[in-house]
Amino acid sequence: MKKQPLSVLARHLFIIVFVSFATMSLSAPKAETYAFVQRDSTLYLDVYRPQNPRPDKAAVISVFGGGFVVGARNDTLQMANVEALTQRGFTVISIDYRLGLKDSTTVKKYSSLFKIDDLFQYCIDIATEDCAAAVAWVCAHASEIDIDPTRLVLTGCSAGAIAVLQLDYCRANGLPAAKELPAGWKPAAVVPYSGGIMCHKRDLKYKTPPAPTMLMHGVKDKIVHYKHFGLPFCAKMYGANTVAKRMKKQDIPHWIIRFEGVGHEVASWLPSSVELFCCFVDQALAGRVTNLDATMTDDELKPTIWTTMTMLQMYKGVEN
């Protein structure tokens, strides 16, 4: 087993997220770019306005994926998501966030196997903080970009799905990573594609109700695990199956779409399933309390060598 350099792993992650979109012709609207927060560097967001806006001025904050090491707010999959959502009348805000695994100093600091949970917690925390800052900016500038901040939906794929799920979990539990959110604000809905929640506690719980959430996950996903992943006595990443169990136990409205025989390909499913996205969001915006537990198949979700890898293979290297 030979470890590959981070640059090689980054290319693998790039393939996971973008392989289905390499030949797509996109026609997303032109971006209006704004700086929303200053960290070690300035983070930006792009606002995409639809040609035919929804009368309710609903908007979507979309967070890109890439394993906290690659990806960008205007990458190929993000632009496919933007196109699909703006065509349905949503204003879409695509945001930057800090990529913790791109920083070699940080990776070296947590290089021990027994610190791997600390490394991922750090990466998720800073991504969550940046998502919170983006929400705060959008709410403060809602009239300028012509959206209703009470009708703001969070969505993301892979690492981005983790970030939006984690943000609402931290908000509902009063955790520090969500402290930059406007007081009293709550997402209208959360729609993660292959996401999860990082939790140090033995049992995942919500102190206050999360937003209506539609979880989508491949049962064979071993990158963001469908059930859970983590070392004994350490923080664990809880996937959609475990999150849905907790929501059901606490009587929290949610949908879960399970994909039998499918791995991490679900992270790229939004453009192909935008009508389902709209159906769930419309019901959430209307205040309807609904629950759904369904098994889904879609021939467009084709497995690749990368989407069927394990997380350890992805980050520790693969055999040549």
SS3 32: strand
Averaged pLDDT of the chain: 87
Q: What is the DSSP letter of 63?
A: E
What are the tokens at 313?
Answer: 């293979």
Measured CA to CA, the distance from residue 33 to residue 60 in angstroms comes to 16
What are the tokens at 229? 């992943």
- Write the pLDDT tens digit of every residue in 193-214: 999 999 876 679 999 999 999 9
Q: Cα separation of 300 and 271, whole Å?
A: 11
Region of residue 231 (phi > 0: left; psi between -120 and 50: alpha; otherwise: beta): beta
Which tokens belong to 129? Answer: 């903080």
Domain that holds residue 58: 6-316
Whether residue 104 is contained in a domain is answered as: yes
From start to end of the chain, where are the E strands?
32-38, 42-48, 59-63, 91-95, 152-157, 189-193, 196-199, 213-218, 228-229, 236-239, 254-259, 292-296
Listing DSSP states for 2-24 in one string gives -PPPHHHHHHHHHHHHHGGGTT-
- 226-242 tens-digit pLDDT: 998 765 556 789 999 99
The pLDDT assigned to 9 comes to: 47
**Any domain includes 97:** yes
Structural domain includes residue 242: yes
Looking at the domain assignment, is residue 90 inside a domain? yes
Q: What's the number of CA atoms in the CB half-sphere (13 Å) around residue 184? A: 2
Residue 137: pLDDT above 80?
yes
The answer to the question of residue 39 being in a domain is yes
Is 1 a domain residue? no
Domain CATH for 138 = 3.40.50.1820
Write the pLDDT tens digit of every residue in 262-296. 999 999 999 999 999 999 999 999 999 999 999 99
Burial of 300 (0-12, 13-18, 19+ CB in 10 A): exposed
Look at residue 190 and tell me whether its pLDDT is greater than 60: yes
How many domains is the chain built from? Answer: 1
Question: Where does residue 284 rank: exposed (0-12), middle (13-18), buried (19+ CB within 10 A)?
Answer: buried
And the tokens for 128? 């969550």
Q: Is residue 289 part of a domain?
A: yes
CA 165 to chain CA centroid, Å, is 7
Q: pLDDT at position 229, please? A: 78
In a domain? residue 91: yes
- Mean pLDDT value of segment 3-23: 44
